[in-house]
Structure 1
Amino acid sequence: MPSSTSEPQPDHLQTLLQSARPFLRGQLENVDDRLPSLIAVLKSVGAGECWHKHGSFLDHLIDIYRILKLWGAPDAVCLCGLFHSAYSNSYVNLAIFDPSTGRDVVRRHVGDAAERLIHLFCVVPRQKLIHDDLLFRYSDESELVQHVNDSEKSLINARKGVFELEDEEWRRKIQSILPAEGIVMKHIKTGEDVNLSRRVVATFLLMTIADFSDQLFSFQDVLFDNSDGMLKFSGNDWATALWPGDGKPGLWMTSISRMGAIYTLIVREEQLYSLYSTSSNRDEEIELVTPPILQNCTKILTAKDQIEARDLYWEGVCEMSKRGLEGCAELLEGSVVRNSFVGEPHVVLGQIYLSQGRFEEAEKEAEQGLRLLLEWGSPWDKRMSWEGWVSWCRVLVMKAKERSWPQTSWGILNLGLVR
């Protein structure tokens, strides 16, 4: 039966679960002893009362912190994620701290390095930065794929002492878009120049990947007429986008995968640059980590595969009465083949296999689904929370290993405890 291209390893799965467990158990003080008090600060200024796409602003802030922490981002970047729109930004009106009077307050809570990132994140035109200046400069998908492959070879050669600085097309392009000395953007309110180092730009790209993965679902697809799955924010169907809509997974992964590939190019260019340059004032204290998603941000999901995989998944989970177990399994297997980068199709397929007594296959799919859910740190199917998906998936893994599955409705409802 179909599965993802990379098989989950038990030790790796346990490592992922160990990192996620404090979030699953609500033991946030075990992640950072400041975290409960920081969340209390956000609550005190009303973050829990603000609407935000898939819930409240407070939930979103905590989710972004969790995603970045699970990806291994530095503390300052994770804290930037926790407060990332606290002064408002170019996308949303969420100024829970006044940028003219509240910066000292935020700085006292998170420190200078994190507050600087928070402020920059809130004052730059992020749509222009991420989409116009980065994403849309790589409109040719084949070029982006080739550059990712070439950059890996360049890094391997450089570590052996072989540099081809003048002949590498991928480097010439990334350097033209994002020079070593950084770029200058315009403040979204004052129009003043805002200097951004290459590492800060990369950090904001990483945060946007986390940001979009946490909040986007079918509501935004309707709002912006994202029927082609390219997420260009070019539509304007404001009157017909009724929140929350049908709850279907959104068509955001193609755009995210392209962002991830560009992020990989920036990281590799920074690694190469550091091998032969000692220049200063480049925010080199900001570590650029690579998320485990999308095969460490090296794979691009085509829009066609994204759409077909999503539609097959949706039909598989919604049409059981018409299709039956075998028919739904076939749909989900087709979804996994087209998009092997999300966990939920594996999870639902694992449950079907359990119902059919196919325990070995169920274990394989459930473990794969669990691995992907833990790596993303957020759900693709946002009808249920990330914690809910992870907990359900762990139940499936446990029952598959036990080679048993309830044969009654009450037996299903009795599930829950994970050993």
Structure 2
Amino acid sequence: MASQSSVSPAENPYLYSLLESCRPFLRGEFESIDKDLPTLISVLRSVGAGECWHKHGSFLDHLIDIYKILKIWKAPSSVCLCGLFHSAYSNSYVNLSIFDPSTGRQTVRGHVGEDAERLIHLFCIVPRQQLIHDDLLFKYTDSDLVEHLEFSKASLKNAKEKGVFNGDEEWRRKLRLILPEDGLKVKHIKTGEDVLISRRLVAVFLLMTIADFSDQLFSFQDLLFDNSNGRLEWTGNNSGITLWPGDGKPGLWMNSASRMGAIYSLIVREEEILIEQRKKNGQNGGIVEGRDEEIELVIPPVFDYCTSVLDAEEQKEARELYWEGVCQGFKRGLDFAEEKLLMSIEKNRFVGEPHVVLGQIYLSKGKFEEAEKEAEKGLRLILEWGSPWDKRMSWEGWVAWTRVLLMKAKEKSWPTHSWGILNLGLVR
């Protein structure tokens, strides 16, 4: 029997297209993504980025990963390059100044261009913890965000289809209150000077922070900051008793990231409404100086394209159910693991790994159609994130394993001996 391809363009065009966009990263073909990318990575390596510790690996790995995630999300080139150099001058979170901000800006500008370097510099000098959390996230409850997402969807539809604009709607008034149309003044983290950040740049920094958190956070930080409620408020201090890397569990960062995505969507929608209103008023929707409107605000596919908020408690329950299933399945049997994984997916449908493990269980049981469906769901989610939720294995490892499962499900075969499992690996 001829081996089948793991992903067919005819059967699943979206998944095939997504895999194709990720393939250069999976193969390390950086020059096909951007002809300058290999050189930029060499520059980062030459200044020691590969020697710096960073959460679950090296700083260089993290920088490349953020570039990859933003590229998969189809962010503009300047934003992706900002991701590649995003803490190069240090920032409010980490001490990683691989370029001196007083003398290195010209060097960085020469490598990435003026637009990207400006973003990199601003990203490094804003008080990001205050900006993202205190000034934005903590101003909304989860229910506020869910409600405002619904209202904003209707408002945008009315603006585009009917030419109806109502600036007095509650969701727009609140957004303008915490993030005015002309931007927000924050304090430079080192000099204390006022720095004006446009609304669109705030949105870009939200997008980058979602990518940043998804790549680096796991249970180590939850223990370090006592994130026991799953809302990532950074208020605890267990520095004296938290040992790196801990148990390697997935982190409880997804409620916070989903909230960032919701606020990002609110910003994007009101920006679109403002442009539609300018068109109606005969201004042709032209770019307004000082608002960074030349930067496209793309919507990443995660959290239903940033339209859903994951409940903090359900996030916690889903994580524990997943962990129990994958860690206790060997002792308590596949039926036990299957039950826990199904419950985990019901609580948190935004991550791929529970689907992947469930797919392997179905293969072991000879339930090939069910295995194929779960492997496809898992692969889609893992590719869309561009980073693993379960960081015990790399993103590339999870993608490769899931493709093996998908291929075997289509072939309707699965090894019945341990040597057969070890012999797996070829992916088509």
Q: Which amino acid aligns with 2:401?
A: W
Deviation at 1:281, TM superposition (A): 1.7
Distance (whole Å) between structure 1 residues aligned to residue 199 and residue 234 of structure 2: 25
Instruction: Describe the superposition over 1:384-418 as per-residue Cα deviations: whole angstroms up to 9, x where unpaired.
Output: 00000000000000000000000000000000001
Q: 1:290 aligns with which of 279, 291, 299?
A: 299
From 52, 55, 69, the counterpart of 2:54: 52
Q: Deviations over 1:253-304 (max 9, x none)?
A: 0000011000000000111111123532211111000000010000011011
Aligned partner of 1:96 in structure 2 is: 98
Alignment correspondent of 1:335: 344
Distance 1:106 1:408 in 2: 54
Q: String of CA shifts for 1:87-144, please: whole Å, max 9, x gaps.
A: 0001000000000000000000000000000000000000000000000011x21111
RMSD after superposition? 1.0
Q: Choose 364-373 or 169-178, whichever is displaced more.
A: 169-178
Distance 1:50 1:321 in 2: 37
Aligned equivalent of 1:402, options 404, 411, 418: 411
Residue by residue over 1:120-173, the C-alpha shift from the partner in whole angstroms, topping out at 9 and shown as x without a partner, is 0000000000000000011x2111100001101111110013324244111111
Question: Where does residue 358 of structure 2 map in the other structure?
Answer: 349
Q: Is 2:315 the partner of 1:306?
A: yes
Q: Report the AA paired with residue 131 of structure 1.
A: H
**1:99-138 → structure 2 map (5 Å cutoff):** 99-138=101-140
- Partner SS for 1:387: helix
Q: CA deviation at 1:83?
A: 0.1
CA distance in 1: counterparts of 2:13 and 2:400, whole angstroms: 19
Q: CA deviation at 1:211?
A: 0.2
Equivalent-residue separation in structure 1 for 2:125 and 2:330 (angstroms): 51
Residue pairs, 1:187-336, within 5 angstroms: 187-277=188-278, 278=286, 279-336=288-345
Matching of residues 362-401 of structure 1 within 5 Å: 362-401=371-410
User: Which residue is equivalent to 2:161?
Assistant: 160
Cα distance between partner residues in 2 of 1:383 and 1:208: 22
Could you tell me which residue of structure 1 aligns to residue 63 of structure 2? 61
Unaligned runs of 5+ in 1: 1-8
1:337-377 alpha-carbon deviations (Å, 9 max, x no partner): 11000000000000000000000000000000000000000
Structure-1 residue corresponding to 2:4? none
Moved over 3 A (4+): none
Contact 2:303 2:350 in 1 (8 A): yes
TM-superposed CA distance for 1:322, in Å, is 2.6
Provide the rounded CA distance (Å) in 2 between the counterparts of 1:276 and 1:321.
60
Distance of 1:60 and 1:164 partners within structure 2: 42
* Aligned sequence identity (%): 70
- Aligned residue number for residue 3 of structure 1: none
Other structure's SS at 2:195 match: strand
The equivalent residue for 1:186 is 187
Q: Which aligned pairs between 1:2-13 and structure 2 lie closer than 5 A?
A: 10-13=12-15
Runs of 5+ consecutive residues of structure 2 not aligned to the other structure: 1-10, 279-285
Q: Which residue of 2 aligns with 1:4?
A: none
| In 2: Cα distance, 1:179 partner to 1:233 partner | 26
Who is 2:281 aligned against? none
Distance 2:275 2:29 in 1: 38
DSSP 3-state at the match of 2:252: coil
| Paired position in structure 1 for 2:370 | 361
Aligned-partner Cα distance in 2 for 1:332–1:321: 14
Aligned to 2:88: 86
Q: Find the aligned partners of 1:396 and 1:168 in 2 and give their Cα distance.
A: 49
